[in-house]
Chains A and B, each alone.
Chain A
């Protein structure tokens, strides 16, 4: 097991280099560069040329990537073109925000999704089941930004419970900061809960029809005991994998949700940095997100091995 993990961690290195290269290439290919954005629409070409030279944008692509990679290997991801600050610090400031939203959303989706899924499975084909199934699909089919705006209209205007601007950084005042996470996590978590409800229901149904559950039942165990003690545990195993995969989806959804709620997370940082063509910031954020994503992915893969003995790790 340890060698497996070590090997996977080693293979991360080329994957991350490839990701960096792709994003570097993409940034080089898309029209517009930092000079154009920094100086604005009224800037004359001489000023643009001057700034380009100053920023080193006139160097060839491979030379720029080489330099970037060389500094990155030595632990220096560069400084933002707009604020003279280390991009690693900028990303690290924002990463907790995004991660917290994703973790809270995951918790919400698991709590809501699993309980509704279990209820639906027990009540199979009865009214409750149909209502839960349709509700879960409503959750699934609601665009995040749309649901987020509705939450704002409801819980910040109609019933002003949660503030919407003036974010308090997590490390300054954790509890004051937490208020800003409630609605975004709900927006992400509830749409995701629909997905988990469906999976839990399907998985529960499968387990409930399995032989050993029937045996337990025929032995005269109470229905609740059967569900809680025998079926639920087994049914939840595949969910672990799904939750891992979903985390990646959440990282993507966070971009939109952070925009709606003006949350200063990595997602928004990427959008801003792309709009501003702040190349070092884009590079660093992509790298960090990729690292997190790949780690979650690795855990997911390992859980195959652990949870399903039929799969051998190759």
Chain B
């Protein structure tokens, strides 16, 4: 821990993530206005004391929208990450350790999902369930599970060949025990670092889906749809898109710095 805190960038990363999470959790306390309230006479106001980040085209307070937006954006990325991580690691380790036919079938299934255009999947799911949080999460889950699975498989295959695993096996440990105690930790730690990259990709994916009209439905704010709705006003009222953009930037920055720091601290090869 002390080693982790030594690098100021790591500390900054942790703080940024903490701030983003705090914004999401404490949104009702932090927000200065009702994020959905439309006041046409106040529209497109530049940032001021009354409206810290200005107002959007409906006169809604951009600050409050961005703060509330962090809830959805972070929730989508967190839940989708957890689902994809657990599913992917389980499938990948099973494939990597079992080998043979199981490995073959699982990886071909992963190939099908990987090669399938994620957008078509997103549209299909949105069309079936309506656009919204659940659909985005499901789509991200489907898209990222095979990626985690491939990484976990590759990592467990490498770990499997290592001497200490062979030793454990030779000493008569049961396969599950080997997987759980010996392979698992060595597979998961590099994946945790990769997770920070995928996490930020998911935040961006939510924005991209909003751009294509498949994001969180109006008037619910999310970083992605505030940014995407503000794009027409990029020159007339840049604050609408700058602030959610900055929030995306800082949270992604935070998560990645955190991941970097963890790599430096946890990397078993350096320990």
Total chain B interface residues with beta-carbon distance under 8 A: 52
Assess whether A153 is in contact with B234, with CB atoms less than 8 Å apart. Answer: yes
Check if A202 sits within 8 Å of B263, measured CB to CB: yes
Cβ A195 vs Cβ B119 within 8 A: no
Binary flags per residue of A136-162, CB closer than 8 Å to B gives 1, else 0? 011011111110011001000000000
Q: Tell me, yes or no, whether A133 is within 8 Å of chain B by CB.
A: yes
A residues 289-307 near B (Cβ < 8 Å) are 289-290, 293-294, 297, 304
B18 at the A interface (CB under 8 A): no
Q: Are A311 and B158 in touch, CB under 8 angstroms?
A: yes
Q: In this complex, what residue of B is CB-closest to A274? A: B123
Chain A residues positioned under 8 Å from B234 (CB to CB): 149-150, 153
Tell me, rounded to whole Å, the shortest Cβ–Cβ distance linking A278 to chain B. 13
Asked if A282 CB lies within 8 Å of chain B CBs, one says yes
**Contacting pair B208 A271 (CB below 8 A):** no
In whole Å, how far is A23's beta carbon from the nearest beta carbon of chain B?
A: 6
**B116 and A22 within 8 A (CB):** yes
A1, B241: Cα distance in complex, Å: 52
Interface string of A253-265 (1 = CB under 8 A from B): 0011001000000
CB pair A30–B127 under 8 Å, yes or no, is: yes
Q: Inside 8 A of B245's CB, which chain A residues have their CB?
A: 142-143, 146
- A27 CA / B120 CA spacing, docked (Å): 9
Closest to B127 in A: A30
Q: Which of A11-19, A60-68, A75-83 contacts B (4 or more CB under 8 A)?
A: A11-19
- Bound together, the chains give a CA A310 to CA B208 distance in angstroms of 39
Instruction: Verify A11–B108 contact, CB threshold 8 A.
Output: yes
Contact with B along A192-210 (1 / 0, CB 8 A): 0001001000100010000
* Main DSSP-derived SS at the B contact region: helix
Whether A23 touches B120, Cβ cut-off 8 Å, given contacts A29-B128, A30-B127, A146-B227, is yes
Question: Which residue of chain A has the shortest Cβ distance to B112 in the bound complex?
Answer: A18
Q: B236-271 interface mask toward A, CB cutoff 8 Å, 1 = contact, 0 = none?
A: 000001000100110111001100100100000100
Complex contact A290–B116 (CB within 8 A):
yes
Across the interface, which residues of B come within 8 angstroms of A293, CB to CB?
A: 114-115
Q: Is B111 an interface residue (CB 8 A)?
A: yes
* Contact of A297 with B114 in the complex, beta carbons under 8 Å: yes
Is A134 located at the chain interface by the 8 A CB criterion?
yes
- Residues of A within 8 Å of B227, CB to CB, are 143, 146
B residues near A85, Cβ cutoff 8 Å: none
C-alpha spacing A26/B116, complex, angstroms: 11
Contact of A141 among B158, B231, B248, B269 (CB under 8 A): B248
Q: Is B157 engaged at the interface, CB distance under 8 Å to the other chain?
A: yes
Q: How far is the CB of B268 from chain A (nearest CB, A)?
A: 12
For B241, list chain A residues within 8 Å (CB).
146
- Among B119, B203, B241, the most chain A Cβ lie within 10 Å of the Cβ of B119
Q: What CA separation (Å) do A15 and B245 show in the bound complex? A: 39
Are B117 and A255 in contact, CB atoms less than 8 angstroms apart? yes
- Find out whether the CB atom of B207 lies under 8 angstroms from the CB atom of A26: no
- Kindly supply a per-residue 1/0 record for chain B positions 207-227, scoring 1 wherever the CB is within 8 Å of any chain A CB and 0 otherwise: 110011000000000001001
Most A-side CB within 10 Å, residue of B99, B253, B257: B253
Flag A165-201 by CB within 8 Å of B: 1 or 0 each: 0000000000000000000000000000001001000
CB distance from A296 to the nearest CB of B (A): 9
CB distance from B66 to the nearest CB of A (A): 15
Q: Enumerate B103-118 residues with CB–CB distance to A below 8 Å.
A: 103-104, 108-109, 111-112, 114-118
Known interface pairs A11-B108, A153-B235; A248-B114 also in contact (CB < 8 Å): yes
Q: Which residues of A contact B260 (CB under 8 A)?
A: 133, 198
- Asked if A252 is at the interface of the complex by the 8 Å CB criterion, the answer is yes
* Residues A255 and B119 in contact, CB atoms below 8 Å apart: yes
B154 part of interface (Cβ distance < 8 Å): yes
> Given A153-B235, A256-B208, does the pair A270, B120 have CB atoms closer than 8 Å?
yes
B211 touches A314 (CB 8 A): no
- The reply to whether A22 and B112 contact each other, CB–CB distance below 8 Å, is yes
> Given A293-B114, A311-B158, A15 and B249 touching (CB < 8 A)?
no
In the assembled complex, the CB of B204 is this many whole angstroms from the nearest CB of chain A, namely 5
* Residues of chain A in range 99-132 having any CB-CB distance to chain B below 8 Å: 125, 130
User: Could you say which residues of chain B place their CB within 8 Å of the CB of A289?
Assistant: 115, 117
B28 within 8 Å of A (CB atoms): no
In the assembled complex, how far is the CB of residue A202 from the closest CB belonging to chain B, in whole angstroms? Answer: 7
Known: A130-B9, A153-B235, A314-B103. 18 other contacts (CB 8 A): A11-B104, A19-B115, A30-B124, A137-B253, A137-B257, A141-B200, A143-B227, A146-B207, A150-B234, A153-B234, A251-B117, A271-B212, A289-B115, A290-B116, A297-B114, A311-B157, A311-B158, A314-B100
> Which 10 pairs from chain A and chain B are nearest by CB?
A141-B252, A30-B127, A290-B115, A26-B124, A293-B115, A143-B207, A141-B249, A145-B211, A18-B112, A137-B253
Selected A-B contacts with CB under 8 Å, 9 pairs: A18-B112, A19-B112, A26-B120, A140-B256, A143-B211, A144-B208, A256-B211, A285-B117, A297-B111
